[in-house]
């Protein structure tokens, strides 16, 4: 895809940015800091100065048989125009839950070929942990005219593609749900269990609770993932119930140098169809 630049040399900040590094860039014209909290009150209680608020529900289609799927491009064009995104904007996303919704936003940007983005490691918890100043003033976005199209479809993987690849030794599935969901003991879908061959690491196990929910030590994570059978040269699909938790595992895998793809349909689709193979 010549239209998609995967180089980060033009990026102001690295993919995973620490609070102090972000603080040094506050006020940069090209920077758009977006708070996507799981708890709507979090933004009002305190946010990174200059951050704008995004309701996470806008990152999902919200209707049809797979409501957690990607919204239509017409909607994404309106959304990113309302947020003030331009081709030159560098987006920094964060949230109040260790990275799920922030990563869903970044994964959506990846899908539309906007590769200038970063995740504030640990989100608002890490910002507070670093003792940095917060704001309670609402920042209004400066609207733009952004035309979104799916320029990087590889960021996404579909149900049918996964079914075709199940026997491929170079393909793996990282199930980011809880062990109880993976084992088929919990869930509210028509069918419970997991995709055949999928391996399970709960998304919260990729966060470090002792370091304000920052991503865990990379070397440890790589070692654990390799022990589970996931290696950087494989193509790795990741999912949860709605591609919220698995957006974070997509981001973590990407930060570790893995070839990650997000399954937006997730178990909400797989577990409610009758033509999908399931293991317990």
Which residues are known to be catalytic? 240
* Angle of helix 245-255 versus helix 218-227 axis, rounded to 10: 110
| Per-residue exposure over 240-258, b if at least 16 CB sit within 10 Å of its own CB, e if not | bbbbbbbbbbbbbbbbbeb
Q: What is the DSSP code (8-state) at residue 30?
A: T
Query: DSSP readout, 238-266?
Result: EE-SSSSHHHHHHHHHHHTT-EEEE-SSH
Burial of 23 (0-12, 13-18, 19+ CB in 10 A): middle
The alpha-helical segments, DSSP class H, found in 167-244 are: 179-182, 218-227
């Amino acid at each position: 895809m010549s239209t998609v630049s995967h180089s980060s040399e033009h990026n102001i900040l690295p993919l995973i940015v620490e609070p102090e590094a972000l603080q040094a860039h506050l006020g940069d014209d090209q920077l758009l800091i977006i708070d996507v909290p799981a708890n709507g009150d979090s933004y009002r209680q305190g946010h990174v100065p200059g951050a704008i608020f995004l309701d996470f529900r806008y990152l999902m289609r919200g209707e049809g048989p797979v409501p957690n799927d990607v919204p239509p491009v017409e909607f994404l064009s309106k959304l990113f125009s309302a947020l003030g995104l331009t081709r030159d904007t560098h987006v920094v996303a964060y949230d109040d839950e260790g990275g799920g919704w922030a990563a869903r936003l970044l994964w959506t940007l990846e899908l539309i070929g906007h590769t200038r983005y970063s995740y504030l490691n640990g989100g608002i918890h890490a910002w507070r942990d670093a003792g940095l100043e917060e704001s309670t003033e609402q920042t209004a976005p400066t609207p733009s005219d952004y035309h979104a199209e799916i320029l990087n479809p590889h960021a996404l993987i579909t149900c049918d593609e996964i079914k075709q690849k199940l026997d491929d030794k170079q393909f793996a599935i990282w199930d980011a749900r809880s062990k109880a969901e993976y084992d088929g003991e919990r869930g509210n879908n028509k069918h419970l269990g997991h995709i055949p061959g999928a391996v399970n690491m709960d998304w919260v196990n990729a966060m470090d609770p002792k370091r304000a929910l920052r991503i865990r030590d990379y070397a440890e994570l790589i070692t654990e993932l390799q022990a589970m059978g996931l290696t950087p040269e494989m193509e790795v699909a990741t999912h949860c119930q709605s591609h919220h938790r698995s957006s974070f595992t997509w981001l973590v895998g990407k930060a570790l140098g893995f070839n990650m793809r997000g399954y937006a349909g997730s178990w909400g689709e797989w577990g409610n169809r009758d033509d999908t193979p399931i293991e317990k």
